[in-house]
């Protein structure tokens, strides 16, 4: 067998080449994205440098330790969500594992990609901060670049280690779903943690701040902060620890990686002992609605990719909770319906697996797409209705009814935007690629949802004028969407 | 009047006139002219990249031809797509089925696409699943099926609405000997009942035994077409096999 380094190079070289060609294939959107990133980076640099140059003294070690913990959590969340894709969803495992290639080399190559992915996930925020610190307080802060890479390595090793340990316990398919949810939770924890003192109220704020201080003052975050200030002993120690952790993860868990990849590349063998009684329907709209709803509900991996997106609404809602109390459920129901309907409708249309069957049939496509829209709205509206029911039981039935109506409006508007222009994509990539494929429609849906949630929030607060104004904006937005966005023909590869 | 009607040739099951499809500078199909009468099994042969699948996808309405016209049982696919597609069924070489549906749920969706009444569709679906040996798997998700089983389910779905023209891309690939025999019998029965089948295959033996007429594509052009005997004569291989004809036609220098 060839040396491990050579095998690692072969796998990595192939991965990088494929990535490069994929990027070149969409070079215009790549150039557009790079242009946008360059502008954002320039602005962030200008701000960070101005702040640091005029600051009287550098941040305290504790503040820097907290910042490194913040970035570490984001990188860990990214590593966990990317680990499921890189470890189990690549199409080349049949070739790699049939060849005399060591699973260690394949796992190391995938972890190298994860280190790069985790590091880049915070680049837009972290790079201006580091450069600002260097400009303001001296070159010794260049140590932060090394800490950045080392922390990305630690996050990647921890993410892969956690994922593969779960694979041992739960099997690859369940582990994949669990890690998706936990990865999103990990990212959301940071936002929630930072905002905790704000929404806990005056009475609990000192306790929360003391708790955060204790969490920040752990030896690892302090070591990261010292390394970031250029302490070479700490940097070397961190580097050695990162390499050791990466090596240990590779050697100890490569077998779990191999077994997990084997399990996910083979077809499921689940058997159904229970006899299934199928109620046959005739109407195209009903059959399509139930088909798409079943496909959503029976796909835990898809649900685990979409449902955690609600977590990112929590900080704002917890902030509202201090003012509105239980009535926060009103804007929450609108946000849940608007946010999720848009995503599920996208999955039901762009993620449709058998467009060929549909396109060669004599079925009217408009009716099919409307049924898909309804299927995309069903689960979010059920969740919104549950929240509104809780609100009604809490003594605000009128508000609950109004919120449900606004939720329905936002759900329909968001879903319509997604079914109007369909560009088929592999089902599990649809959610990840939605920003790239339909930024205008995504932001349109978000604006509609924001106006609807604002209206519900004002009504919950008892501000009828504000609520009426926001609802008018929401209604005009909805009417505008229906009037201006027409159903367009399916975008097919030919 | 009735004598006149009887003497008129029947409407072709499929007629293609000057079909052209280009991908950039590559011409996948270069002017395909074809007429297939009802009740025939027609086999498309050709080396890889000859344009067989592209031709079938244009006939099925999945690809828009750059030029030319397709007529299915007298109805133009471009002018009257809904009515032209009604008697049509197409099974690709690697059919994409819904992994998380059960076979009956898949059949229900196909029946709804072709607007079949439930009273007819349900018994037909059950009978097809039983006939193709899929009844025992009716409670399992399709994602647990082998490739061959998925191929059989796609065929069951294609037959559900009683089509009059079936387009099959490599219908026997992935099937074991028993399943292949079952499918061949089923297709022969379909043709005997007046249906028309257009299939592509790389297995020359299948074309030789089953097809009434054979077309050989090369570089997007129909370079030979007819019954087996006619093909042998065209290729100067009287008494030869289809393999001899195929190799001669597909490896000959252009222009010869």
Q: Please state, in angstroms and rounded to a whole number, the distance separating the CA atoms of residues B156 and B158.
A: 5
Which of A282, A362, A364 lies at the smallest CB-CB distance from B117?
A282
Q: Please state, in angstroms and rounded to a whole number, the distance separating the CA atoms of residues B46 and A25.
A: 31
What one-character DSSP code corresponds to residue B161? T
pLDDT confidence of residue B1? 44
Q: What is the mean pLDDT of residues B63-71?
A: 93
Whether B4 has a pLDDT exceeding 60, the answer reads: no
Whether A226 has a pLDDT exceeding 50, the answer reads: yes
Q: What is the mean pLDDT of residues A229-251?
A: 93
pLDDT confidence of residue A154? 94
In DSSP notation, A222-271 reads: HHHHHHHTT-HHHHHHHHHHHHHHHHHHHHHHHHHHHHHHHHHHSPP---
Answer for the pair B82, A362: CB distance below 8 angstroms, yes or no.
yes
For B104, which residue in chain A has the nearest alpha carbon? A278
What is the least distance, in Å, from the CA of B36 to any CA of chain A?
20
Across the A:B interface, residue pairs with CB atoms under 8 Å apart total: 108
Whether B21 has a pLDDT exceeding 50, the answer reads: yes
What is the least distance, in Å, from the CA of A136 to any CA of chain B?
55
Contact check, Cβ <8 Å, B113/A299:
no
Answer for the pair A379, A344: CB distance below 8 angstroms, yes or no.
yes
Distance separating the N- and C-terminal Cα atoms of chain A: 45
Model pLDDT for residues A47-95, shown as the tens digit of each residue: 999 999 998 889 999 889 989 988 998 899 888 888 877 777 776 777 7
Number of H helices, E strands in chain A: 21, 0
Closest by CA position to A221, among listed A57, A70, A59: A70
Q: Please state, in angstroms and rounded to a whole number, the distance separating the CA atoms of residues A2 and A5.
A: 8
Model pLDDT for residues A281-294, shown as the tens digit of each residue: 889 999 999 999 99
- A209 reaches B (C-beta below 8 A): no
pLDDT confidence of residue A113? 87
The residue ranking higher by pLDDT, B40 or A171, is: B40
- B14-23: strand order across its sheet: B26-36, B14-23, B67-72, B75-76
Q: What is the mean pLDDT of residues A337-355?
A: 91
Model confidence at B3, pLDDT cuts 50, 70, 90, reads low
Contact check, Cβ <8 Å, A268/B114:
no
Q: What is the mean pLDDT of residues A213-240?
A: 90
Model confidence at B76, pLDDT cuts 50, 70, 90, reads very high
Q: What is the mean pLDDT of residues A240-267?
A: 83
Q: Please state, in angstroms and rounded to a whole number, the distance separating the CA atoms of residues A418 and A343.
A: 8
The residue ranking higher by pLDDT, A144 or B203, is: A144
| Residues of B whose CB is below 8 A from A280 | 104, 108, 118, 121-122
pLDDT confidence of residue A197? 66
Contact check, Cβ <8 Å, B105/A295:
no
Residues 343-372 of A with CB under 8 A from B: 353-354, 356-364
Answer for the pair B67, B19: CB distance below 8 angstroms, yes or no.
yes
Which one of A374-378, A420-424, A480-484 scores highest in mean pLDDT? Answer: A374-378
pLDDT confidence of residue A479? 93
Answer for the pair A87, A112: CB distance below 8 angstroms, yes or no.
no
Q: What is the mean pLDDT of residues B148-152?
A: 90
Whether A271 has a pLDDT exceeding 70, the answer reads: no
Tokens of A368: 């099919």
* Ramachandran angles phi, psi of A185, nearest 5°: -60, -40
For B61, which residue in chain A has the nearest alpha carbon? A360
Q: Which contiguous run of DSSP H or E holds residue B23?
A: strand B14-23
Q: Please state, in angstroms and rounded to a whole number, the distance separating the CA atoms of residues A384 and A326.
A: 15
The residue ranking higher by pLDDT, A368 or A323, is: A368
- B221-226: strand order across its sheet: B88-91, B165-169, B196-200, B41-45, B213-218, B221-226
- pTM, two decimals, is 0.81
Q: What is the mean pLDDT of residues A216-226?
A: 89
Which of B82, B100, B112 lies at the smallest CB-CB distance from A298?
B100
Whether B256 has a pLDDT exceeding 50, the answer reads: no
Answer for the pair A378, A371: CB distance below 8 angstroms, yes or no.
no
Beta bridge partners of A381: none
Show the CA angle centred on residue A308, arms to residues A305 and A311, nearest 5°: 155
Average pLDDT, chain A: 85
Q: Which residues contact B186 (CB under 8 A, 6 or more apart)?
A: B131, B132, B155, B159
Lowest mean pLDDT of A193-202, A245-254, A268-277, B202-211, name the range. A268-277
CB atoms under 10 Å from CB of B223, counted, come to: 18
Write b or e for each residue in A291-328: b if 16 or more Cβ atoms lie within 10 A of its Cβ, otherwise e.
bbbbbbeebebbbbbbbbebbebbbbbbebbeebeebb
Write b or e for each residue in A426-446: b if 16 or more Cβ atoms lie within 10 A of its Cβ, otherwise e.
ebeebbeebeebbeebbebbb
The structure tokens 């042969």 sit at B45
For B82, which residue in chain A has the nearest alpha carbon? A362
Average pLDDT, chain B: 89
The structure tokens 């929450």 sit at A332
Best residue in B62, B109, B116 for a mutation probing chain A (most A CBs within 10 Å): B109
Model pLDDT for residues A390-414, shown as the tens digit of each residue: 999 999 999 999 999 999 999 999 9
What is the least distance, in Å, from the CA of B251 to any CA of chain A?
29
The residue ranking higher by pLDDT, A409 or A98, is: A409
pLDDT confidence of residue B212? 92
Model pLDDT for residues B108-144, shown as the tens digit of each residue: 999 999 999 989 999 999 999 999 989 998 889 998 9
């Amino acid at each position: 067998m060839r040396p491990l380094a050579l095998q690692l190079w072969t796998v990595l070289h192939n991965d990088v080449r494929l990535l490069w060609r994929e990027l070149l294939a969409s070079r215009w959107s790549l150039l557009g994205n790079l242009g946008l990133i360059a502008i954002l980076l320039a602005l962030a640099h200008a701000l960070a440098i101005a702040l640091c140059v005029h600051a009287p003294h550098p941040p305290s070690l504790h503040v820097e330790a907290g910042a490194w913990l913040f970035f570490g959590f984001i990188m860990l969340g990214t590593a966990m969500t990317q680990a499921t894709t890189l470890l189990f969803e690549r199409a080349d495992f049949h070739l790699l594992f049939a060849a005399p290639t060591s699973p260690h080399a394949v796992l190391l190559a995938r972890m190298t990609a994860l280190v790069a992915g985790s590091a880049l996930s915070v680049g837009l925020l972290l790079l201006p901060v580091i450069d600002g610190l260097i400009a303001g307080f001296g070159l010794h802060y260049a140590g932060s670049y090394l800490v950045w890479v080392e922390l990305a390595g630690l996050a990647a090793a921890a993410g892969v280690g956690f994922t593969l340990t779960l694979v041992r316990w739960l099997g690859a398919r369940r582990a994949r779903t669990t890690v998706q949810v936990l990865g999103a939770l990990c990212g959301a924890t940071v936002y929630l943690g930072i905002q905790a003192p704000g929404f806990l109220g005056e009475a609990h704020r000192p306790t929360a701040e003391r708790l955060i201080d204790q969490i920040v003052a752990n030896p690892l975050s302090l070591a990261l902060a010292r390394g970031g200030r250029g302490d070479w002993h700490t940097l070397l120690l961190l580097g050695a620890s990162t390499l050791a952790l990466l090596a240990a993860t590779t050697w100890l868990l490569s077998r779990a990686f191999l077994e997990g990849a084997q399990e996910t590349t083979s077809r499921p063998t689940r058997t159904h002992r229970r006899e299934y009684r199928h109620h046959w329907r005739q109407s195209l709209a009903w059959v399509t609605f139930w088909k798409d709803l079943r496909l959503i509900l029976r796909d835990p991996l898809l649900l685990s990719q979409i449902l955690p997106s609600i977590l990112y609404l929590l900080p704002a809602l917890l902030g509202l909770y201090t003012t509105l109390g239980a009535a926060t459920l009103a804007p929450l129901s609108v946000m849940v319906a608007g946010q999720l309907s848009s995503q599920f409708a996208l999955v039901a249309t762009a993620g449709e697996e058998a467009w060929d069957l549909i396109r060669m049939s004599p079925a009217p496509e408009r009716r099919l797409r409307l049924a898909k829209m309804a299927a995309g709205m069903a689960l979010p509206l059920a969740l919104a209705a549950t929240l509104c029911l809780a609100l009604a039981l809490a003594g605000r039935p009128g508000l609950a009814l109004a919120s449900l109506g606004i939720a329905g409006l936002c759900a329909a508007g968001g879903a319509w935007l997604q079914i109007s222009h369909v560009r088929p994509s592999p089902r599990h990539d649809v959610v990840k690629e939605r920003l790239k494929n339909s930024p205008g429609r995504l932001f349109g849906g978000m604006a509609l949802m924001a106006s609807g949630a604002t209206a519900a929030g004002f009504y919950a607060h008892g501000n009828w004028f504000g609520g009426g104004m926001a609802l008018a904006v929401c209604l005009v937005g909805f009417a505008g969407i229906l009037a201006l966005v027409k159903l367009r023909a399916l975008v097919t590869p030919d | 009047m009735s004598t006149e009607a009887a003497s008129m040739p029947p409407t072709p099951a499929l007629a293609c006139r000057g079909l052209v499809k280009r991908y950039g500078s590559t011409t996948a199909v270069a002017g395909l002219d074809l007429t297939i009468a009802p009740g025939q099994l027609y086999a498309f042969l050709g080396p890889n990249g000859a344009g067989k699948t592209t031709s079938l996808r244009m006939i099925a309405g999945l690809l828009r031809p750059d030029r030319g016209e397709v007529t299915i049982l007298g109805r133009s696919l471009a002018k009257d797509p809904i009515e032209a597609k009604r008697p049509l069924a197409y099974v690709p070489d690697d059919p994409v089925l819904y992994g998380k549906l059960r076979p009956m749920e898949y059949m229900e969706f196909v029946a709804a696409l072709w607007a079949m009444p439930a009273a007819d569709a349900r018994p037909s679906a059950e009978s097809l699943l039983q006939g193709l040996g899929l009844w025992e798997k009716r409670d399992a998700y399709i994602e647990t099926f082998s490739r061959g089983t998925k191929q059989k389910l796609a065929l069951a779905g294609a037959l559900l609405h009683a089509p009059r023209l079936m387009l099959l891309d490599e219908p026997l690939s992935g099937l074991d000997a028993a399943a292949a025999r079952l499918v061949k019998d089923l297709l022969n029965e379909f043709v005997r009942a007046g249906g028309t089948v257009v299939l592509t295959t790389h297995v020359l033996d299948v074309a030789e035994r089953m097809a009434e007429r054979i077309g050989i594509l090369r570089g997007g052009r129909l370079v030979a077409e007819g019954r087996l005997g006619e093909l042998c004569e065209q290729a100067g291989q009287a008494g030869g096999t289809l393999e001899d004809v195929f190799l001669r036609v597909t490896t000959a220098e252009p222009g010869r």
